[in-house]
Amino acid sequence: MIQVEALHKRYGGQVALESVDFVVPRGEIFGFVGPNGAGKTTTIRILATLAVPDTGTATVGGIPVADDPHGVRELIGYMPDFFGVYDRLTAEEYLQFYAACHAVPHRRRRAVAHELLELVDLGDRAEHQVDTLSRGMKQRLCLARALVHDPQVLLLDEPASGLDPRARIEMRELIRELRRMGKTILVSSHILPELEELCTWVGFIDRGRMVAAGPMADVRNRVLVGRRLRVEVVAPDDIKLFAARDQIAGRTGVIEVQLVENGLEVAVEDEFADQDLLVALVQAGVAVRSFAPVTGDLSEAFMRLTGPGVERAR
């Protein structure tokens, strides 16, 4: 649905994008990950027809952005990394205004505004002035704004930035709901745990270069060896921990065992049956306090791909 090939962009002497290419298939949530200033916003602005690349191509729904920006605008809903709202307009008027900007027929605008306000859980705020809404509500309203013309593709630039934890969760659920509705979503962020739970595809960008892109599991598997499980032991001491390690190490499917604070971290192959490990530990008399997969794989993968060693290798 989105295809980006060899994008280059310079602002004066500053290189914003050096080599960016990735694809986002229809119906996927693509997490566009990178530190501040990596080139995420520039790429999204190119896809949103707000900037022109120096070289390279970007297509949305098969339409090249450079050849038919008007056609692309009909396909995309864009939410920038800042949310500007108009004072002295109600939430409903605000959405109706943007519906009119997207040439939604008169008779449909009111209904569209109401449907979207319900979708983003602001149905009871329809008559409230936009500038009186909380930041989280404004952010959800801006997402609703991006949907007024029922676009197939959503370009969301840091949609959860500056939100409190509750608002972040609400935003995440909303994005999942949009995927269920069949939207293809490109969402950028520099907060990796947030994206890890949300995205099906991922792309890492660092200093204007794409360092990895593809389905989430593929990227992780390419960068990290296996999945990681964390085992916490009751009243851990060296004897208990070494005993536990000996029980695990060498089993089929176990790649590596590391001693960590209060327990062990075990790297296992993707097909490994986690419960067998737990059974073995309990049978060996290890008092297991907790047993869970390690989250933060994406962060680990990102750090490995963008670390100082990578810079030297370039």
1 near another protein, rule: CB under 8 A: yes
**Interface pick for another protein out of 215, 274, 278, 295 (rule CB under 8 A):** 215
**Interface pick for another protein out of 13, 62, 105, 308 (rule CB under 8 A):** 62
Give the interface size with another protein as a residue count (CB under 8 A). Answer: 66
Looking at the Cβ atoms of 4 and 254, the one nearer to another protein is 4
22 near another protein, rule: CB under 8 A: yes
Looking at the Cβ atoms of 178 and 212, the one nearer to another protein is 212
Q: What is the DSSP string of the chain?
A: -EEEEEEEEEETTEEEEEEEEEEE-TT-EEEEE--TTSSHHHHHHHHTTSS--SEEEEEETTEETTT-HHHHHHHEEEE-SS----TT-BHHHHHHHHHHHTT--HHHHHHHHHHHHHHTT-GGGTTSBGGGS-HHHHHHHHHHHTTTT--SEEEEESTTTT--HHHHHHHHHHHHHHHHTT-EEEEEES-HHHHHTT-SEEEEEETTEEEEEEEHHHHHHHHSSSEEEEEEESS--HHHHHHHHHHHTTSTTEEEEEEETTEEEEEE-TT--HHHHHHHHHHTT--EEEEEEPP-HHHHHHHHHHSHHHHHH-
Q: Of the listed pieces 101-109, 110-118, 168-176, 275-283, which binds another protein according to CB under 8 A? A: 101-109
80 near another protein, rule: CB under 8 A: yes
265 near another protein, rule: CB under 8 A: no
Give me the residues that bind another protein (CB under 8 A), please.
Answer: 1, 3, 5, 21-23, 25-26, 28, 45-46, 48-52, 61-71, 73-76, 78, 80, 82-89, 93, 97-98, 100-103, 145, 149, 152, 209-215, 218-219, 221-223, 305, 310, 313
